[in-house]
Structure 1
Amino acid sequence: MTLAASSPLSPLLAAIAQRIGPAHVLTDAADMAPYLREERGLYQGVTPAVLRPGTTQEVAFIVEACARAGVALVPQGGNTGLVGGQMPFGQMLVSLARLDRVRNVDPVDMTMTVEAGCILDKAHEAAVAAGCLFPLHIASQGSCRIGGNLSTNAGGTAVLRYGNARDLVLGLEVVLADGRVWNGLKRLRKNNAGYDLKQLFLGTEGTLGLITAAVLKLFPLPAQRTTAFLAVPDPAAALALLARLRGEAGDALTTFELMAAFGVETVLAHMPGTVRPLQESHDWYVLAELSAPTRAFDLGALMEETLAAAMEAGEVLDAAIATSEAQAANMWRLREDMSEAQKHEGGSIKHDVSVPVSRVPEFLERALGAVTAALPGLRPCPFGHVGDGNIHFNLSQPVGMEKAAFIAMWETFNRIVHDIVTDMDGSIAAEHGIGILKREELAHYADPVALDLMHRLKQALDPAGTLNPGKVIGA
């Protein structure tokens, strides 16, 4: 810690340093820089210090000390958020990365208790070591952390089968705005003793309390898995295929991802080692996966039979079923590397939206027509979890257009896309959260009664407004 002794924050930081150790109070610009760079480059954070507590009690000490001093703070996990919710703009930054322990794995209860700073992949590994599955899978799982996943209600590629992050939580430990710790780490499947308090903190981006640990649901490990990469005529055919696979496979249908040709071709062009699964190019693709914890029936045979019927019905134009883990991994890369590959095509304006599953084809038709009419040469890159209605409606700049000029049109495209989503009874924020990026959009589109309730909750749980101020609903 090198903050000048004359700084008004010096006594506060000295007290925190004494509690958590001077090495974990960062004030040097070079030391703080990795915490202040946002994934998309949309925001540059500013903070007087990065605080790195190592226990729940240390988090509570920091929150209470900051509350007494009237100093606002921003929690951060893996700094992989896509809406700026983890970025400080003058507030103290509290990194929860050191709270990375797996406290307990119980294969009888089928639960796992982990701290907020636990990297998602580490949670996966701990579950597998106990012969279980934790099914939250997202592209950033090698660096994102559980606390961030829960505070944004992360979704990912297995929501179709297992639900969003909030569906995978049984209990929480939370530091409240005054520094008190709510210990709600129960491993119960049934608990109706009063309000379900954990839901207040799931998906609220650290604005009501700081999640420090969670009890997560586990599931049986898959005994078999089969992955297919498919060409489909259009999104309507993809929806028909989804219904067919669900009808034949039931809950074994784990993943159903839709991808436009531009996105797949971008990954093949820019991500080394990727391989085209099908001989010919097509306008639309689906990545589908079946998995089951039993070998009572043959998933591979079921996939083949179902796809044969789908091809006969005109729902599938071509298909490749992975015959090895390597082939399956390559198919997954074509989906998971899409956002990274888009960076090579210049500026990208991104929308994380959802509509009722039955209306996905209608949304794509309306939205694609509207955005290309607004800017000729625009290169749309829609993809995502069509099985749960969540589409990442990304837009790559026209070739030759200045990136800054394109990014300046973000609000214009927000209005086009979000107007359509709202008209279709959808959501402008499916799985990435609101943060600061969509704060004004939420204020524009949300039901006034819903907004009033959100403000009342914020006032009740954080009356001084010291927890992640300016995010989600503003101050």
Structure 2
Amino acid sequence: MTQLTEEIRQALKDALGPKGWSEDSSELAPHVEDWRGRYQGSTPILLKPGSTQEVAAAVTICAEAGIAITPQGGNTSLCGAATPQGEVLISLKRMTRVREMDIGNDSMTVEAGCVLENLQNIAADADRLFPLALGSQGSAMIGGLISTNAGGVQVLRYGMTRELVLGLEAVLPDGTIWSGLTGLRKDNTGYDLKQLLIGAEGTLGIITAATLKLFPRPARTELAFVGMDSVGDAVTFLGLAKRLSGNAVTAFEILPRIALERVLEHVPGTRDPLESEQAWYVLCELSFGRADGARETLEEALGEGFEQGLIKDGAIAENETQARDFWRLRESIAEAERAYGRSVKHDVSIPVSRMAEFIERGSARVTQAYPDAVVFCFGHVGDGNVHFNFASPSPGQAEEFMAHAAGISGIVYDTVAEFDGSISAEHGIGILKREELASRKPVDVKVMRAIKSALDPKGIMNPRVLLG
């Protein structure tokens, strides 16, 4: 790949103006290390365009010179997709305008640098819901979330990010602006080009704006924290809750006792909502268009769960504060993991009906091969996504344990394949799973390479990511 010359560097500075670039090492530092601290990178210059036209100008200059580019949103990638390794870094953080709110169409058009939590609040102010919700929503930007097809806790009800996007605007690898912004639910005019960019992790272009779906705000949300004996019981209860609520289950999260214990130990201000200790816990959230009967519906589902022996203990959130406390137990698991020590992480998806069998078989295989491994399994079981992690037996053994990461992951991914699952449910591929993807889905990768070659013949757009 061509090196950045002083002439090209100056051309980029001139195109973006004094606010549109930085070479200050202190400003560059947080942009060249990933959120987990796994990848440390470098960049000769940070570009901060303030408009789609400025993005296009920068990409055009780089394309003509064959200069590689790494696009970056909120830098919350968990797979190294946004950490530059010498490429020009283009951050969308200055592009934060809400271009349009179309309440009658239940849509809003926003720029790629908008932080997810801000968009949730803007939608709420208009008495609407933007349902994408995840742990990093206070810093994750919508362009990056679309580029990785992020998931979150409400996929069960509202779908992945790609299902929340009506239209896109993007700068293609040659600097052309493609304007596919639309609020249409139906547009049957050939290839759905936005779907190529959603989940492409910046390898086919830079998303600069999006038209997003909005939904009516629920009139009432009810939340329960319940204890169970097994994952199988949790899956059975999921079906029961969906049936009795008229498919009003918004989120269904599972965590084992060890995860709760680590949260209680390492996250100040947390407490166990239940009086008894259980093997597994479920956060079950129901959302309703009408307030009448909401609590009664949840109580009916819990009552039947108790009668069938699925639920051993439980509590219903009595107010918003208690609901936030319940959710904090789930959302703090990653923080508690980091506080305890390193772990081998896997973001996989399995058919919901086979989730219990997968967790049992995968856990047994890993612990047979590596007896010291501690199973640390939690996630969005309602949509088949489980974070199937394995931790060291103690923080002091973390480095020694991590030497077994490749072997553990091989066992996990082989088991995932047996269950017709996916090695990446919501975090993407990045550079972390690039070789794994190539070895397990060679035909898919061959097709993706052909698409990449057609749109980015010089291979300048996020060249190390996804396909390598």
For this structure pair, what is the TM-score category when the shorter chain's length is used for normalisation? over 0.9
Q: Residues 455 and 8 from structure 1, CA distance in 2 versus in 1: closer, same or farther, beyond 3 angstroms?
A: closer
| 8 Å CA contact 1:102, 1:126 repeated in 2 | no
Does the alignment pair 1:92 with 2:88?
yes
Q: Which amino acid aligns with 1:337?
A: S
Which position in structure 2 is the counterpart of 1:32?
28
* 1:182-216 CA-partner distances (Å, limit 9, x unpaired): 00001101100111110000001000111000000
Q: Secondary structure at the match of 2:444?
A: helix
Q: Which amino acid aligns with 1:66?
A: C
Which position in structure 1 is the counterpart of 2:349?
354
Which position in structure 2 is the counterpart of 1:468?
462
Does the alignment pair 1:345 with 2:347?
no
Identical columns (%): 49
| 8 Å CA contact 2:171, 2:205 repeated in 1 | yes
Select which of 434, 438, 452 maps to 2:446. 452
| 8 Å CA contact 2:202, 2:462 repeated in 1 | yes
Q: Secondary structure at the match of 2:190?
A: coil
What CA distance in whole angstroms lies between the structure 2 residues aligned with 1:449 and 1:368? 30
What CA distance in whole angstroms lies between the structure 2 residues aligned with 1:182 and 1:378? 49
Which position in structure 2 is the counterpart of 1:184?
180
What CA distance in whole angstroms lies between the structure 1 residues aligned with 2:74 and 2:395? 34
Q: Residues 407 and 466 from structure 1, CA distance in 2 versus in 1: closer, same or farther, beyond 3 angstroms?
A: same
Which position in structure 1 is the counterpart of 2:6?
10
* 1:138-165 CA-partner distances (Å, limit 9, x unpaired): 0000000001110110010000000000
Q: Which amino acid aligns with 1:261?
A: R
What CA distance in whole angstroms lies between the structure 2 residues aligned with 1:86 and 1:179? 20
> 5 Å matches for 1:223-242?
223-242=219-238
Select which of 95, 104, 109 maps to 1:113. 109
* 1:55-80 CA-partner distances (Å, limit 9, x unpaired): 00000001010001110000000000
Does the alignment pair 1:384 with 2:379?
yes
What CA distance in whole angstroms lies between the structure 2 residues aligned with 1:14 and 1:293? 56
Which position in structure 2 is the counterpart of 1:285?
281
| 8 Å CA contact 1:47, 1:91 repeated in 2 | yes
What CA distance in whole angstroms lies between the structure 1 residues aligned with 2:372 and 2:132? 37
Select which of 38, 41, 45 maps to 2:41. 45
What CA distance in whole angstroms lies between the structure 1 residues aligned with 2:115 and 2:246? 31
Which position in structure 1 is the counterpart of 2:244?
248
Q: Which amino acid aligns with 2:466?
A: V
What CA distance in whole angstroms lies between the structure 2 residues aligned with 1:93 and 1:252? 43
What CA distance in whole angstroms lies between the structure 2 residues aligned with 1:266 and 1:28? 39
Q: Secondary structure at the match of 2:386?
A: strand
Q: Which amino acid aligns with 2:251?
A: T
Which position in structure 2 is the counterpart of 1:368?
363
Q: In terms of mean alpha carbon deviation, does 228-237 or 12-21 score higher?
A: 12-21
Select which of 379, 392, 406 maps to 1:411. 406
Which position in structure 2 is the counterpart of 1:168?
164
Does the alignment pair 1:61 with 2:57?
yes
Q: Which amino acid aligns with 1:31?
A: E
Does the alignment pair 1:128 with 2:124?
yes
C-alpha deviation, 1:431, in angstroms:
0.2
Gaps in structure 1 of 5+ consecutive residues: 1-6
Q: Secondary structure at the match of 1:139?
A: coil
What CA distance in whole angstroms lies between the structure 2 residues aligned with 1:250 and 1:222? 14
| 8 Å CA contact 1:170, 1:215 repeated in 2 | yes
Q: Secondary structure at the match of 1:22?
A: coil
> 5 Å matches for 1:270-281?
270-281=266-277
Q: Which amino acid aligns with 1:395?
A: F
* 1:227-283 CA-partner distances (Å, limit 9, x unpaired): 000001100100110010011113311011111111111111111111211012211
Select which of 312, 317, 331 maps to 1:322. 317
What CA distance in whole angstroms lies between the structure 1 residues aligned with 2:287 and 2:254? 18
> 5 Å matches for 1:209-224?
209-224=205-220
Q: Which amino acid aligns with 1:181?
A: I
Which position in structure 2 is the counterpart of 1:3?
none
Does the alignment pair 1:425 with 2:420?
yes
| 8 Å CA contact 1:345, 1:397 repeated in 2 | no
C-alpha deviation, 1:293, in angstroms:
2.3
C-alpha deviation, 1:401, in angstroms:
4.7
TM-score by length of 1: 0.96
Gaps in structure 2 of 5+ consecutive residues: none
Q: Secondary structure at the match of 2:247?
A: helix
Q: In terms of mean alpha carbon deviation, does 261-270 or 313-322 score higher?
A: 261-270
C-alpha deviation, 1:406, in angstroms:
2.1
Q: Which amino acid aligns with 1:350?
A: K
| 8 Å CA contact 2:16, 2:58 repeated in 1 | no
| 8 Å CA contact 2:151, 2:160 repeated in 1 | yes
Select which of 292, 299, 305 maps to 2:300. 305
C-alpha deviation, 1:405, in angstroms:
2.3
| 8 Å CA contact 1:105, 1:126 repeated in 2 | no
What CA distance in whole angstroms lies between the structure 1 residues aligned with 2:129 and 2:426? 21
Which position in structure 1 is the counterpart of 2:154?
158
Q: Residues 24 and 406 from structure 1, CA distance in 2 versus in 1: closer, same or farther, beyond 3 angstroms?
A: farther
Does the alignment pair 1:76 with 2:72?
yes
Does the alignment pair 1:261 with 2:257?
yes
What CA distance in whole angstroms lies between the structure 2 residues aligned with 1:408 and 1:113? 46
C-alpha deviation, 1:334, in angstroms:
0.6
C-alpha deviation, 1:411, in angstroms:
1.1
| 8 Å CA contact 2:342, 2:395 repeated in 1 | no
What CA distance in whole angstroms lies between the structure 1 residues aligned with 2:443 and 2:150? 25
C-alpha deviation, 1:409, in angstroms:
1.8
* 1:100-135 CA-partner distances (Å, limit 9, x unpaired): 111111110000111111000011011111110000
What CA distance in whole angstroms lies between the structure 1 residues aligned with 2:168 and 2:203? 15
> 5 Å matches for 1:198-217?
198-217=194-213
